[in-house]
Amino acid sequence: MTGALTTTVTGVPTLAGAFPGATTEPEAQDPGAPHGYPGELAAVLIGAEQLRDKIAELAAAVAADHDLDTPPLLVCVLKGAVMFVTDFARAMPVPVELEFMAVSSYGSATSSSGVVRILKDLDRDITGRRVVIVEDIIDSGLTLSSLRKNLATRGPARVDVVALLRKPAAVKVDADVRYVGFDIPTEFVVGYGLDFNERYRDLPFVGLLAEHVYR
Ligand code: PRP
């Protein structure tokens, strides 16, 4: 399932237009400029149109695997997955219900124990439900792995994960992600929900942050 769905974005574009989908962005030369971030984005990694097509594919795959009478319960992990979940829910060809969680890792990103602290929990019981965790990105996989274990203790019928992006080179634990949109290089990506210091979440594409912004 995952293999057939996942698109691997190989290499890092040094110029917008050097990868599939990028040429669909009219702002290819300075992709941040039309959105108020002039000179801050090095390139578009995944364009808006490519995102739309992939999300339709992911939604169709999740719906095809749904065999319960109750609708799938989408659990959006705030804040990064918020753009993805709203588009994903609207692309689903079956009714879905929405829930939101906010989590934070204990310790620093590099020394994380993999245990997440729940800052905002689900508003309801998930017993007997098919839960679909909706994540924007799998980096180390630690957040997801911990969240899965937590939700599994609450008696759901099953817990699946749909992730828009994954950095395979960075994954430390296998979080058993059934549906993945794009495997991407280990680079600093922002946009479409992903931030750097809370900026860039509002970009309609996934882009590479210009080096001078984070160095
Ligand atoms: C990001 C992302 C995942 C997590 C992935 O969230 O949304 O939840 O990191 O990292 P991991 O695989 O290494 O655990 P972040 O903590 O940046 O919060 P945000 O979604 O609010 O930006």
Residue nearest to atom 21 of ligand 1 (CA): 79
Question: Among this protein's residues, is 67 annotated catalytic?
Answer: no
Mean pLDDT of 160-166: 97
189-190 β-sheet, strand order: 41-46, 206-209, 189-190
Q: Is 195 in the pocket of ligand 1 (CB under 6 A)?
A: yes
Which range, 5-9, 85-89, 101-105, 140-144, has the best average confidence (pLDDT)? 85-89
Which of 30, 53, 65, 139 is labelled catalytic?
139
Residue nearest to atom 16 of ligand 1 (CA): 104
Rounded alpha-carbon distances, angstroms, from residue 127 to 7, 65, 132? 33, 19, 13
From the CA of 56, how far away is ligand 1's center (Å)? Answer: 23
Mean pLDDT of 54-80: 97
Q: How confident is the model at residue 87 (pLDDT cuts 50, 70, 90)?
A: very high
pTM equals 0.89
Phi and psi angles of residue 47, each rounded to the nearest 5 degrees, phi first: -75, 165
Q: Average pLDDT, whole number, for the chain?
A: 89
> H helices of the chain, where?
2-5, 48-64, 82-91, 142-152, 211-214
From the CA of 82, how far away is ligand 1's center (Å)? Answer: 12
Q: Is 80 in the pocket of ligand 1 (CB under 6 A)?
A: yes
Q: Which of 139, 161, 200, 201 to mutate to test the pocket of ligand 1 (most atoms within 8 A of CB)?
A: 139
